[in-house]
């Protein structure tokens, strides 16, 4: 249900951008559930490490905007959201994140009852956090396949997969960001 509720907080866009709507819901839903105490951070990071590779581009991929496969739409979009969240946090000294950016869209009147072009959504979100992360990331990942180094990302976040379990390394360079992503966030 949380996944579906996330959709109500985003304007409608042309179908080729469904990856943003679905990816945002896939990413935000477990984070919100950790923040509410319904899941543990360990559970969602385990799931992300397990499932995020489903969003990597495959042969013939033409970027998020042009590839409508299930994995790219849901997990490629979630990967975009994770990368955006991390970069927003890096550029704001971990004060703001993707949730703040998306709250800005909602505060500007952007919800499922509105039709907005993706450029307006991303620009509004960027304005809310004062950095142009979402627009720039879309400029990179939208028109062409980008394959992030997930192993390096997990390592930098202080995540290590041990079988089906996840182990945390709080000395990792982005461990504070990993912790902030799932910390309760009240406004």
Report residue 170 as tokens: 């709080």
Q: What is the pTM of this model?
A: 0.94
Distances (CA, A) of 130 to 38, 62, 82, 92, 100: 31, 30, 18, 8, 10
Report residue 64 as tokens: 């998020």
Band the pLDDT of 151: cuts 50, 70, 90: very high
pLDDT in tens, 75-108: 999 999 999 999 999 999 999 999 999 999 999 9
Q: How far apart are CA 177 and CA 85, in angstroms?
A: 9
pLDDT in tens, 115-145: 999 999 999 999 999 999 999 999 999 999 9
Question: What pLDDT score was predicted for residue 150?
Answer: 98
Report residue 120 as tokens: 């307006």
Domain ranges across the chain: 2-182
List Cβ neighbours of 75 (8 Å cut-off, separation of 6 or more): 23, 26, 51, 52, 53, 54, 55
């Amino acid at each position: 249900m949380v996944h579906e509720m996330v959709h109500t907080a985003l304007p409608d866009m042309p179908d080729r951008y469904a990856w943003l709507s679905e990816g945002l819901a896939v990413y935000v839903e477990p984070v919100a559930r950790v923040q509410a105490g319904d899941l543990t951070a360990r559970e969602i990071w385990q799931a992300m490490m397990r499932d995020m590779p489903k969003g990597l581009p495959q042969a013939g991929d033409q970027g998020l905007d042009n590839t409508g496969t299930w994995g790219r739409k849901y997990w490629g979009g979630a990967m975009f959201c994770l990368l955006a969240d991390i970069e927003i946090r890096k550029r704001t000294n971990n004060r703001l994140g993707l949730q703040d950016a998306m709250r800005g869209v909602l505060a500007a009147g952007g919800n499922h009852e509105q039709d907005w072009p993706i450029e307006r959504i991303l620009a509004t979100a960027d304005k809310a956090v004062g950095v142009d992360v979402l627009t720039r990331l879309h400029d990179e990942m939208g028109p062409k396949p980008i394959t992030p180094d997930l192993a390096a990302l997990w390592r930098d976040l202080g995540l290590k997969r041990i079988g089906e379990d996840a182990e945390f390394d709080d000395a990792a360079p982005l461990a504070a960001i990993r912790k902030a992503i799932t910390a309760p966030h009240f406004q």
